Chains A and B, each alone.
Chain A
C-alpha cells in the first residue's frame, strides 16, 4: 500500500520491470480503504435463494475462471408458489437488483447481465424491463443487461435448469457430478445469483460490510425477506433482521399467534412445530429443530387444519412439477403422494403405507440430478416428526376434520396435466 505523505505516487513500483496484474492488485486494490471484494467477504452474505451458500466464495470461484464473455444471471424466477419476495423486491426497487448485478459483473469481469424473470409473472417483467430501459437511456457503463423470460416451473428456477434454458434448451435441471460445478452459457462461465442476494450485494457495495452486519446474527448477518402466508390476515412479504424470534415475525404480519405448525423454506422446506415459535429466525437456531430459512417462505398452519393432509397436497403438486428426468423422482414422488393419501384414508391400510413411506424416503434420497426430490423428502420427514400424533390418529382410523375443510390453508397452484407442462 502506498503511504499518503510520500512519493512516488504515480510511478510507484515501476523499477526494473512493470508490475504484473497480481502485483498491481496487491499494491493498489488490496490496500485501499474500500474494496468491494473484501467487503463482500467480511459481510458474510449468504445466498438468499435457499441453499445459503456464501456469496463471496461463489464470486471468488467465478472471478478466477477464464472467459471473454462471462455473464451474471439474476434469478428472479420465484419458483416457490408460496413466495412473493421477488414480486415485492421488484415492486419496491428493481434498480437495487440491477445495481447489485452490475457490481457482481464488475467483480467477476462479466460482459453480460441476464435477468431471468418468469413470463407468468408479468408485473415483475414490467418492473424490470422498465428499469432496464431507464438504465439504458443513461449511457450504460459496464455489462450489457438483457431480460429473459423463461417459463415458470418449480424446477425451472434451479440454476442449472435456468442456464440450460439460456443455452436454448428446455428449462430442465442438469446432472452435475463435480462440485463445485461451474455453469456455462455457451462456453463462458456464469454466476447465478438470486435477486435478493443481488440487492444485498448492492447495499454492501454502497455501505460496506460493517453497516451490513449491524443487523442479523454473527453467523447469518443482514436482513432477509419473509413471505408470510397461510393463517394470516393478509399474505405479506416482510423484511426482517435474521435472528428475529419467529413470534415477532408472526405478530408483525398479523398471523395466528398459536399456530399448529409453520412451513419454513418453501415447498421443499420443513415443518416447524408450533411450540418452537420463540426460535430466532436464522439457520443456526432453526437447525436445532431440523428446519432452515430456505427461500424465505413462512406458511402458518392453524390448529384446525390437518398437517398430514396439507403435506399431501404439497407433495402431490411437487410430484407433478417434477421434470420427470430421473426415475427416482418421476416414480418416487407420486409414490410418496400415494402413501400419504393412504395414511389419510383409513380404508387403505394406513399402517403399511406409513412404513412404506419411510422406506421410500430412504431409498429416493439423493438420487435425483437436482435437489427437487430431496426437498420433498425433507418436507415429508419433518411432517412425520411434527405431525406424529396426527399420523398415529390417522393410522388408528379416527376421523379427521382437517381433511374436510372447504378451504385449505396453503395455497397451491392447480395441478396441470403432464402434457400441458411448458418447459420452453
Chain B
C-alpha cells in the first residue's frame, strides 16, 4: 500500500470554527493558505487549490497535523476527474 498520488482534482483546507481556539499554528505551518485575523483566529483560503501543487498540499498537511485542537481537515474534490 503505497501513497496514491493524484495529479488531478483539488483540495480545500477547512477549519472547524467551534474546535478552533486560535493557537495560530496553522498560520505558521501553512502561511500560503491561512491568514490570521486580529484576534488570532485563522482565515482559511476558500478557493480550491490543485492537488498537483504539492508544496501547498504538503504545508496544508503540516497544518492539519500541527493543529493542537485537531480542527483542520483537508477536503478533496475531484471535479477534474469527472467525465464530461
Contact = CB atoms under 8 A, between A and B. Distances in A.
Interface of A: 174-175, 177, 325-329, 331-332, 335, 360, 363-364, 366-369
Contacts of A368: 17
Interface string B1-30: 000000000000010111111100000000
Contact of A367 (B17, B21, B38): B17
Nearest 7 CB-CB pairs, A to B? Answer: A327-B41, A326-B17, A331-B39, A325-B18, A175-B16, A175-B18, A369-B18
Contact of A369 (B16, B22, B40, B41): B16
B43 interface: yes
Contact of A177 (B14, B20, B43): B14
Nearest to A329: B17
11 contacts: A175-B18, A325-B17, A326-B18, A326-B41, A327-B17, A327-B37, A328-B41, A332-B39, A360-B38, A363-B43, A367-B17
B39 A326 contact: no
A149 B48 CA distance: 42
B47 interface: no
A327 B73 CA distance: 18
A249 B28 CA distance: 55
Contacts of B18: 174-175, 325-326, 369
A360 to B, nearest CB: 8
Contacts, number: 46
B73 to A, nearest CB: 8
Contacts of B46: 366
Contacts of B20: 326-327
A369 B17 contact: yes
A286 B37 CA distance: 33
B46 to A, nearest CB: 8
B79 interface: no
Nearest to B75: A177
B21 to A, nearest CB: 7
Given A175-B18, A177-B73, 15 more contacts: A325-B17, A326-B18, A326-B20, A326-B41, A327-B17, A327-B20, A327-B21, A327-B37, A360-B38, A363-B37, A363-B38, A363-B43, A367-B17, A367-B41, A368-B17
Contacts of A364: 37
A360 B46 CA distance: 18
Contacts of A328: 17, 37, 39, 41
A176 to B, nearest CB: 10
Interface in B47-84: 73, 75
Residue of B41, B43, B46 most packed against chain A (CB within 10 A): B41
A11 to B, nearest CB: 44
A367 B16 contact: no
A363 B46 CA distance: 13
A360 B41 CA distance: 13
Contacts of A325: 17-18
B14 A367 contact: no
Contacts of A175: 16-19
Nearest to A330: B39
A291 to B, nearest CB: 26
A327 B75 contact: no
Interface string B31-47: 00000011111010010
Nearest to A174: B18
Q: Identify which of B17, B22, B41, B73 gathers the most chain A CB atoms within 10 Å of its CB.
A: B17
A364 B37 CA distance: 9
Nearest to B35: A363
Contacts of A366: 46
